[in-house]
Structure 1
Amino acid sequence: SIVRDFITGWKDFQREGAPELYPQQLADEMEEINYYIFKAINNGVYRCGFAGSQEAYESAYEFMWEALDWVEERLGKQRYMVGEHITETDIRLFVTLIRFDPVYYSHFKCSRHKLAEMPNIRGYLQELFQIPGFGDTTDFTEIKQHYFMVHTEINPTKIVPVGPDMSWLMEAHDRDRFGGQPFADGTTLPGAVPAGEEVKNPEDFQLPLFER
């Protein structure tokens, strides 16, 4: 994957103090969990959204929610998916979880619960979103416009929902109750976020997409 390529194949171009996202001592566990996350969650939401029959949809839905329940339980026991710091596994999971409430919940009919209603996943997403490199690279307007306007076989009107309110991502969390920390000692965070790419104020997440 492109994530793995950047982690392992581009080390000569990484800044000094870049985080170790694929520690070799955790590689076997990460590979097992990465595969499950991809099959049941990353790809699972698409299997729900593009199912060609009720039976296929319900099968995919059950498989996906079984996996999300497993993630919720696991995150109730530890801060991150694998080990004591953020790894590639968390990045692979984040990209789907952050799109879940704005898109997959309604657009792909994954609507058992919003992730904001699942306390451990909620806190996990809050922590990641507030770390440089996560929230500041997430554009909810772009995410929603892409899915709701491009998938015309699912949403022929191309109407893009204004909600949901995602300001909860900027609220305080208590993930540090498990110990550990986002990155190992000696890791340096990215430099200043370029102007215009800062995490927006919470109230800005609910703005209409188009002028009235």
Structure 2
Amino acid sequence: MVGITAGGQATADAIRREAADLFSTHGYEATSLRQVAAKCGITVGSLYNHISSKEDLLLQIMGGTMDELTAQVAAAVESVEDPLERLVAFLSNHISFHAEQAQRVFIGNSELRSLPADLRAEITAKRRAYRRQVEELILEAAKAGQTEVVNARLHAYNIIAIGTDVATWYRPGGEFSLERIVKDYTEIILRSLGASAKAASH
């Protein structure tokens, strides 16, 4: 990628946004760079000022999603000291992000196979680091006597799966508000750990 100016960044953002819309609607394999360029109102040649290939574009979308999610939950947890409240802050942001960024989450789950092995490894490494962050928060709360851990790894997988699942069915204006979904899922997860959201609020 070359030339990071305000205009260039805006174009790069537009490329990723329009590509994500096409990938989620038609699938990665069925989408051409020509279609992406047309939706952005630029030439195919101009795309190469921002990407090196179609695979690179998919990597940017998927990697950017993981980076944004990781940064968001890290910022939420950083300002909290109590271990259980830290876990609650993580859960709130984890669930909200997956609901609000459902399109990008869908691409991440459905198109990972479309990346070559070396690029796929980059994404799986980011996901592994994210999962470890969940495990650490669970174990911190357990060490403080606030949760009962059966298997930290499996608890973490369950939490991640809940976020992924919410992304498949949540719709703004649906039966449940996002606030209600976050509240109830947080309570469900904490109860599975022998805790409660009420305990975190005291």
Rg bigger for which structure? 2
The structure richer in helix per residue is 2
Same fold per superposition (TM over 0.5)? no
